[in-house]
Structures are given as C-alpha cells and as structure tokens.
C-alpha cells in the first residue's frame, strides 16, 4: 500500500515538475520572441495607428459633405411570401441630418425600440426596453455601420457600370399605395427583380435621394450614380426580388405612408433612457495596447 502511495505521489510530483518546466520554457520562449520581434511588433502597431487615423480623417471629411434630408416619414414593409412569419415593418423619420427608425417584427419583439442615426455627427444610438421595463441605450460610431452600407451601394453601382447587372425600363405602369409607378427590370447573377418607381410621391425626392447617396455612398452628386443614369429618377415604391439558384428567399419591399413635413421631435430624443457611450475603435485599440 505504501509503495502504491509512493508511486502515486511520485507521479503527481513528476507531473507537476513537468508542467512547471513547460511553463517556464514557454515563458522564456515568449520573452525571447518578444525581444527578437519587438521592432516588427512596433511596426505593426504603427501601421494600425496610421490606418485608424486615416479612417477617422476620411470619415470626418465625408461627413462635412453630407446633404440634409427633407423633413418626412415613411414605412417600409418587407414581406416574404414563402415565410410570412419573417415579415417586418420599419418606420423611418428623417429631419436634417438624422434618421430615426422603429422596427416591428412579425415573429417576436426584439426589445429594440428605436435607432437614431446622426449622419453629420457620425453616431448611432440604439434604444432598448427589457422585459422588466428598464430603458437603456448605446451610442456607437456610425462609421462601423455605414462602412458596410457604403460598400454594398458602391458594389451595386460598380456592377451596373461594368455590365455585370442591368436595369431595363418598361412601358408598364401600375398604381401602388396611391402612387403612379413605372416598372423597371433589374438583373444580375444572383437576382432578378421588378422595381416600381414613382416621381409623384408628394415630397422632394431629389433632395431625399441626394441626402441618401451622400450618407450611404459618399456620392457628391446623386446624378452620377448608375441607378440614376439607368433611368431611376424617382423613388422605388416597390422592389420585388426573385433570387436565382435558391441563394435566398423571394422578398417584396414596399414603401407606405410617405408624409412630407412630418417627423416628431420625440423620435430623435433619448429622454427617459440610460444611454451608454461605447468606446470608439481607436479607443479600444489604445486600451488593448495599454493592457
């Protein structure tokens, strides 16, 4: 029995010694590698600093050129014929350089009350209410979000310019939501869609389109984008998409309740919410270096 205990004790001791040896060897190697590659590490950190500085400078310059939105509101209803439980309604309110949106999910309550984007200041504030009724919010950098949107818009424009997508006007007209619309056919390798466009929507659609392109595509003049050159001189009231090859689902996006001059101040207010300002990308990077 004593021999068994001695064997067990010796095994544990040897195991601990081996673990300790591996730990000190690993730490010695890490220290040696850190010393050996200190110059490369600093070079890498300097490159990240430079990239973040350039990103911020470019973002600031683009926001100085952003055009104001007309004061207005509208709803976007997104329907999925094959999966109606995924249907969603988004209510939008625009005023000057801000857009407030309210999400209404068919499936369940997401807990998100509103999102307020200030394109001039470059901030996005998400307001939420939990199941206990507590109201909180987060304010984040908008460039983390609209970088994705800008890439998508610019990619779509480039596809049209390069001939990888086409827009064909038709002589077919239809009244949708009370607006006389003309049908345009869009097609690329992934989608075919019907786009119903109206320029009689009771609001300054040219100012709206200019503001939208300046906010989401860094475009100085909306007349230079590929959609305008293809004849889309109005607002797409309905966009019916038919995916190719089963890559995604059929979807119908329809604009409703377009109201010129209507955008209540409370939609752009975070009063009553405990809002936390999230650190910027640069602040997070600096904190990681300090650690």
Per-residue model confidence as pLDDT tens digits over 24-36: 445 554 555 556 5
Q: Is 11 inside a domain boundary? A: yes
- Distance, CA of 195 to CA of 183 (rounded, Å): 6
Question: Are 53 and 82 within one domain?
Answer: no
Pairing of strands 135-141, 274-277: parallel
Structural domain total, the chain: 2
The CATH number for 199's domain is 2.50.20.10
Residue 200 lies in a domain: yes
- Are 77 and 212 in the same domain? yes
Is residue 28, in this structure, part of any structural domain at all? yes
DSSP string of 14-41, one letter each residue: HHHHHHHHHHHHHHHHHHHHHHHTHHHH
Residue bearing tokens 């990619």 = 155
Alpha-helical segments (H) within the chain: 2-36, 38-63, 143-161, 205-216, 226-229, 281-290
- For residue 7, what pLDDT band results from cuts at 50, 70 and 90? very low
Same domain, 172 and 265: yes
pTM confidence score: 0.78
pLDDT band with cut points at 50, 70 and 90 for residue 70: very high
- The answer on 130 and 153 residing in a single domain is yes
Q: How far apart are CA 177 and CA 151, in angstroms?
A: 31
Beta-carbon contacts of residue 89 (< 8 Å; ≥ 6 apart): 75, 76, 77, 78, 103, 104
* pLDDT score for 202: 82
Q: What is the pLDDT of residue 286?
A: 77
Query: Quick check: 13 pLDDT over 60?
Result: no
Residue 287 placed within a domain? no
Residue 291 placed within a domain: no
Per-residue pLDDT tens over the stretch 163-175: 888 999 999 999 9
157-205 per-position pLDDT tens digit: 788 888 888 999 999 999 999 999 999 999 988 889 999 999 888 888 8
Same domain, 73 and 49: no
State whether 39 and 80 are in the same domain: no
Q: Residue 2 above 60 pLDDT?
A: no
Question: Among the three residues 14, 34, 63, which one is the final residue of a domain in this structure?
Answer: 63
| Same-domain pairing of 16 and 132 | no
Domain boundary among 15, 39, 63: 63
- Give the residue among 103, 85, 93, 98 at the shortest CA–CA distance from 124: 98
Examine residue 161 and state whether it is found in any structural domain, yes or no: yes
Answer yes or no: is pLDDT of 71 > 50.
yes
Does any domain span residue 290? no
Q: Give the per-residue pLDDT at 144.
A: 64
Percent of the chain with pLDDT over 70: 77
Range of 17-21, 22-26, 33-37, 210-214 with top mean pLDDT: 210-214
Q: What is the DSSP letter of 81?
A: T
Q: Domain check: are 201 and 172 in the same one?
A: yes
Whether residue 59 is found in the same domain as residue 158 = no
My answer on whether 17 and 87 are in the same domain is: no
Residues 31 and 76 in one domain: no
Q: H or E element: which one contains 121?
A: none
Q: Which domain holds residue 148?
A: 69-276
In a domain, 281, yes or no: no
């Amino acid at each position: 029995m004593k021999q068994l205990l001695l064997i067990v004790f010796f095994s544990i001791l040897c195991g601990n010694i081996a673990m300790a040896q591996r730990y000190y060897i690993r730490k010695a190697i890490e220290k040696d590698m850190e010393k050996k590659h200190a110059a490369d590490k600093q070079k890498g950190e300097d490159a990240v600093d430079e990239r973040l500085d350039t990103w911020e400078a470019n973002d600031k310059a683009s926001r100085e050129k952003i055009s104001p939105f007309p004061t207005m509101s509208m709803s976007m209803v997104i329907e999925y014929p094959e999966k109606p439980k995924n249907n969603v309604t988004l209510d939008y309110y625009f005023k000057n350089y801000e857009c407030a949106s309210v999400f209404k999910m068919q499936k369940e309550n997401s807990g998100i009350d509103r999102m307020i984007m200030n394109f001039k200041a470059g901030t996005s504030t998400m307001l939420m209410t939990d199941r206990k009724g507590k109201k909180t919010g987060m304010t984040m950098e908008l460039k983390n979000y609209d970088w994705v949107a800008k890439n998508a818009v610019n990619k779509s424009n480039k596809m049209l310019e390069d001939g990888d997508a086409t827009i064909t006007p038709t002589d077919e007209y239809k009244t949708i939501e009370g607006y006389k619309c003309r049908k345009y056919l869009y097609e690329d390798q992934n989608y075919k869609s019907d786009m119903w466009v109206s320029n009689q929507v009771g609001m300054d659609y040219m100012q709206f389109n200019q503001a939208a392109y300046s906010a989401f595509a860094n475009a100085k003049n909306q007349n230079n984008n590929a959609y305008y050159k293809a004849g889309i001189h109005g607002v797409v009231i309905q966009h019916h998409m038919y995916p190719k090859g089963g890559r995604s689902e059929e979807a119908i996006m329809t604009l409703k309740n377009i109201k010129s001059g209507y955008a209540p101040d409370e939609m752009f207010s975070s009063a009553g919410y405990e809002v936390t300002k999230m650190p910027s990308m640069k602040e997070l990077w600096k904190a990681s270096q300090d650690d």
